[in-house]
Structure 1
Amino acid sequence: MDRWKAAVDAHAPQEVAACFTEDAIFQGLHPYSVGRAGVAEYYASQPLGLTAEYEVLETREPAEDVLVGYLGVDFSFVDRPTISVNLSVVLRRLDGEWFISHYQVSKLD
């Protein structure tokens, strides 16, 4: 998740997308997509100056090379209030590196 955060903070949509599996299911705050292209498109549409601060709240390891994570994330902007969300992710280890294969955001009110 540190690679994801660094790419989000750098406004580097292709680098964000590279944190995901080729067939990742991605649900941000807009309609969902499948695959890295949708992730890159989503983050390319985000405003410059967007940053993410996260805290891992829970993790589980349901199988070898698979992690489920539940995080609290604050997305901060230059010109508007911070958005706080819950983020559920499924991570898969492929060739020794972790990738996000499922990403689901729920906005907190």
Structure 2
Amino acid sequence: MPEAQILRTVLDRWRAAVDAHEPDRVASCFTDDAIFQGLRPYTVGRDGVAAYYAAQPLGLTASYDIRETRRLADDVVLGYLEVEFGFTDRPPLPVHLGVVLRRTNNDWHISHYQVSQLP
């Protein structure tokens, strides 16, 4: 499967869970040992991902555009994206997102997630 399609498959699941405000479902898009860096101090593992998204406001939405992809190994894909987080009570927040996806048991999950704010 092409790298962009792998990214879309995983990130569409992530986006749907973010939009539905379902933190445990968001966390299921990640590996058990995922390194997660949102806009707060980093965490490792699904519990930290779930806690991060549980703390996000209701009505948060995510949209993304894939900018670059690289196949780092047969079971590893790198993605660089522009993401816009939408809110019900404030302007949207544009960010850069770098992800590393890893295939385990024939399914792809996010093993590294790094957000940086646009200037």
Following superposition, the deviation at residue 88 of structure 1 comes to: 0.1
Higher helix share: 2
Q: Which residue of 2 aligns with 1:90?
A: 100
Please list every run of 5 or more consecutive structure 2 residues that lacks an aligned counterpart in the other structure. Answer: 1-10
State how far apart, in whole Å, the 1-side matches of 2:106 and 2:61 are: 27
TM-score, length of structure 1 as denominator length: 0.99
Letter in 2 for 1:99: H
Q: Which residue of 1 aligns with 2:54?
A: 44
| Structure 1 runs, 4 residues or longer, greater than 4 Å off | none
Counterpart pick for 1:60 among 63, 67, 70: 70
State how far apart, in whole Å, the 2-side matches of 1:46 and 1:67 are: 27
- RMSD of the TM alignment (CA)? 0.5
Q: Which residue of 2 aligns with 1:8?
A: 18
Following superposition, the deviation at residue 95 of structure 1 comes to: 1.3
State how far apart, in whole Å, the 2-side matches of 1:90 and 1:44 are: 23
Following superposition, the deviation at residue 37 of structure 1 comes to: 0.3
Q: Which residue of 1 aligns with 2:114?
A: 104
State how far apart, in whole Å, the 2-side matches of 1:3 and 1:93 are: 15
State how far apart, in whole Å, the 2-side matches of 1:4 and 1:97 are: 14
TM-score, length of structure 2 as denominator length: 0.91
Correspondence 1:13-24 to 2 at 5 A: 13-24=23-34
Please list every run of 5 or more consecutive structure 1 residues that lacks an aligned counterpart in the other structure. Answer: none
Q: Percent identity?
A: 66
Higher strand share: 1
